[in-house]
Amino acid sequence: MKKFILLFAIILLIAAFGVFSFLPNYLSKSSNAEEVIIAVPNGASLSRVANELYEKGVIRSKLWFRYSGKDIARNIKPGNYKIGPGLDIEEIYKIIQKGEHENQIKVTFPEGFILYQFAQRIEEAGLGTAEEFIKASKDYFTLKGYDLDTSNMYFSMEGYLFPDTYYFTEKQDIDEIVSKLASAMDGVLTEEYRAKAEELGMSIHEVLTIASLIEREAYNDAERKTVSGVIHNRLKNHMLLQIDASVIYGLGEGKDHMTRLLYADLEKDNPYNTYKNIGLPPGPIASPGRKSIEAALYPEDHDYLYYVLGENGHVFSKTYDEHLVNVGKYR
């Protein structure tokens, strides 16, 4: 029995030695079969570069790439780099420190942009037509198999593209651009956020919808969670949300953006008319930023049910009578 245990221990040691001898070499080789272009924005961290390389199938382990490259983390230069097949990570480290890159096209999508505005911004940058971008977003939705009822939505990927500054190249395919924007949103929706949504009994679709309402309604960062609290309170009380931004989105069919509403507009039948339909609209009305997503998941705990725009932000109230006083004061 002792001989057997000793033999087993020796086998384990040999196996472990083999693994530890083989693994670093395996993880240090790129796995892409074709040339890949990665975009490294100004100020990008080694972690962000690792995520980009991993998503493109260039490296096998983000953790190993970060660990092995910790000494060059502050030397990364922005650019769009070609990563050929058969490279090891030391060669990749050299490439991202050179600053050699193709012509970069910087495109910024502000928080609160609707998908149609994303499409227009892409066209303005010369990366494709707005129609091509919209079609690519529909194709991406189908390809990824999102389990959503989009029958009342104008754009299936509305709210699922993350607003940020990106660097593209003229050679990047429009499908790749849409994938990058959607992947960025997936990255923001961390496991913590998904777990919190489940705790609240909400789907990610509902989270993004509430976050988009906050994005378009909040006057500043300080009141995002307060506005979120009002939305959550009204939903719990089965009250109409009565959010102008949602009505405006519906009237413009996700394209035209009105600057003011008439009382007659509030009577028009539309799935996004939160003055007539109880509950959330069919989907997001814009692309929310990280702060609005966090506010949707972590609303301020209060008893407010109403708000009206005052001189330096919204004024909140708990009762309708208080709200009427505030409306009379500020409108």
Residue 297: which residues within 8 A CB-CB, separation 6 or more? Answer: 193, 196, 197, 200, 207
How far apart CA 134 and CA 329 sit, in angstroms, is 43
pLDDT score of 175: 93
Q: At residue 7, does pLDDT exceed 60?
A: no
| Per-residue pLDDT tens digits for 208-263 | 999 999 999 999 999 999 999 999 999 999 999 999 999 999 999 998 777 777 88
How far apart CA 228 and CA 214 sit, in angstroms, is 6
pLDDT score of 169: 77
pLDDT score of 197: 96
Range scoring the smallest mean pLDDT among 12-16, 55-59, 195-199, 255-259: 12-16
Residue 235: which residues within 8 A CB-CB, separation 6 or more? Answer: 241, 279, 280
| Nearest partner of 80 among 25, 49, 38, 139, judged by Cα | 38
What are the distances in angstroms from CA 78 to CA 95, 102, 119?
11, 11, 25
What stretch of H or E contains 174? helix 174-188
- Beta strands 165-168 and 105-108: pairing type? antiparallel
Token pair 């919190």: residue: 196
Half-sphere exposure of 33 (CA within 13 A, CB side): 0
pLDDT score of 133: 97
In this structure, the number of other CB atoms found within 10 A of the CB of residue 308 comes to 17
Q: At residue 1, does pLDDT exceed 90?
A: no
14 pLDDT band, cuts 50/70/90, is: very low
pLDDT score of 212: 97
| Per-residue pLDDT tens digits for 121-174 | 999 999 999 999 999 999 999 998 888 889 999 999 999 999 998 888 777 889
* Residue that wins the pLDDT comparison between 194 and 70: 194
How far apart CA 29 and CA 95 sit, in angstroms, is 15
| Per-residue pLDDT tens digits for 45-75 | 888 999 989 988 888 888 888 988 888 888 8
The answer to whether 191 and 316 have CB atoms below 8 angstroms apart is: no
The answer to whether 109 and 116 have CB atoms below 8 angstroms apart is: no
331 pLDDT band, cuts 50/70/90, is: confident
pLDDT score of 181: 94
How far apart CA 19 and CA 26 sit, in angstroms, is 10
Residue 30: which residues within 8 A CB-CB, separation 6 or more? Answer: 58, 59, 83, 85, 86, 87, 88, 89, 92
How far apart CA 170 and CA 127 sit, in angstroms, is 6
Per-residue tokens: 121: 């911004």
pLDDT score of 321: 93
Task: State how far Cα 177 lies from the chain centre.
Answer: 14
Q: At residue 85, does pLDDT exceed 50?
A: yes
How far apart CA 314 and CA 4 sit, in angstroms, is 76
pLDDT score of 97: 86
Rounded to 5°, angle at Cα 52 from 46 and 55: 135
Q: Domains plus CATH for the chain?
A: 19-98 (3.30.1490.480), 105-188 (3.30.1490), 191-330 (no CATH)
| Per-residue pLDDT tens digits for 95-120 | 888 775 566 788 999 999 999 999 99
| Per-residue pLDDT tens digits for 161-185 | 999 988 887 778 899 999 989 988 9
- Beta strands 306-309 and 165-168: pairing type? unpaired
